[in-house]
A = this chain, B = another copy of it.
Amino acid sequence: MARALELAESGLYVPTPNPRVGCVIVKDGQMVAEGVTQAAGHAHAEVMALRDLKQKGGSAEGATVYVSLEPCSHHGKTPPCTDALIHAKPARVVIAHVDPYPAVSGRGIAALRSAGIAVSVGVLAKEALEINPGFVSRMVRGKPYVWAKIAASMDRFTALPDGQSQWITGAEARADGHHWRARSCLVLTGIGTVKADNPLLNVRAIETHRQPRRAVIDPKLEIPDNAKLLQTEGLILFAANPDEGRVTQLTSKEAVVVNVPDQNNPDRVDMNAVMQWLAEYDINEVHVEAGAGINGALWRAGCIDELILYLAPTFLGHGLPMLDIPGIDQLSEADQLSFIDHDNVGQDIRIRARKFDRWQELVEHIESSNAQHAL
């Protein structure tokens, strides 16, 4: 299963909106074939592994198949993997976790079992969840899994007061940041960042065959006509009761304008509505790269699952903060996160921290549906 997870991870940038899945076929104690889920509309991991085996002249009959997610049982863009597996007649299928997609959850397992194939569920389930937090989140909560990327000095300023922020962190940290953009389905920023930096927010520092979609929180559609983002395909603009004429102008530039005003403040965007809209739009993972205002608004709205903080070995003394949130009165009121890892990235350190309760919700869902289908 560890190898199946490695395979799933090798396709990290690829299959959105489908989950990343890896599959390994073992026969007589030997790994005889493996497969990775391809880009949306193409073959899933199980089919790839069976094809690999066939090409090598082998047969899966009596083999054990390890797959990092329950095989699909429905006709989507591709035929169901359970049919292919049943046809291949393995003795046993081992699954990391049950498919969180409500329409099929447990059905693949049931179909395999009816065909006389033994099925084990729950091997390295949490590790598998780490590979598809967005897919699971979208299925379980109707919202994407959201991380905010922040680069800051040791005294936690993201830029000097005048906005200078280039090269606070080094080239390796920027490339690493592009890895997170590449795995995401969508990069989200705010109109302040667009006006200040005119960024493209695409993946440049590393190779990928797929660019994430991009979106801007832009309540009054102030995006400048020369904004580079307007030249990218299918830019999404989240607005709050914007001017109709401006909507028409922007739509003609192929941007998508989504009106999601906050009920309590019609000049602001409702961040939860943004996330619901994105989930319906098949967005699994959102990479936020914005200023303190948007970071803070998302944090306050409970929309951020994870922080990816690049810490540079320097002090600025003053500057722009990481996120604007109201101060607390008692330490006991502080939001609890948990650090999940920290690594050297060139001269900088990357620290990842998760909102503990939000992650626990996904873990518990996976564990309870695994328990339900364990036998």
Contact = CB atoms under 8 A, between A and B. Distances in A.
A316 interface: yes
Nearest to A353: B313
Interface in A295-344: 299, 307, 309, 311, 313-319, 321-323, 325-331, 334-339, 342, 344
A166 interface: yes
B160 A327 contact: yes
Q: Taking chain A's interface residues, is the majority helix, strand, or loop, or is none over half, making it mixed?
A: loop
A101 interface: no
Contact of A338 (B313, B323, B342): B313
Given A155-B156, A307-B154, A315 B338 contact: no
A156 B316 CA distance: 13
A283 B311 CA distance: 32
- Chain A contact-residue range equals 35 or more
Interface of A: 153-156, 160-161, 164-168, 299, 307, 309, 311, 313-319, 321-323, 325-331, 334-339, 342, 344, 347-349, 351, 353
A326 to B, nearest CB: 5
Given A164-B330, A339-B347, 16 more contacts: A154-B309, A154-B337, A155-B322, A156-B156, A160-B327, A160-B328, A160-B331, A164-B331, A167-B331, A311-B339, A315-B334, A316-B331, A317-B327, A319-B327, A339-B344, A342-B344
B317 A153 contact: no
Given A307-B154, A321-B155, A342-B342, A314 B337 contact: yes
A353 B337 CA distance: 23
A357 to B, nearest CB: 13
B327 A166 contact: no
Given A154-B307, A337-B154, A325 B315 contact: yes
Contacts of A154: 156, 307, 309, 322, 337, 353
A360 B156 CA distance: 26
14 contacts: A154-B322, A155-B322, A155-B323, A160-B327, A164-B330, A168-B331, A299-B315, A313-B337, A315-B323, A315-B335, A316-B328, A316-B331, A342-B349, A342-B351
Contacts of A331: 160, 164-168, 316
A329 B327 CA distance: 27
Nearest to A161: B327
Most chain B CB neighbours (cut-off 10 Å) among A166, A326, A339: A339
Contacts of A319: 327
Contacts of A314: 334-337
Nearest to A356: B313
Contacts of A155: 156, 321-323, 325
Contacts of A325: 155, 315, 317
Contacts of A334: 153, 314-316
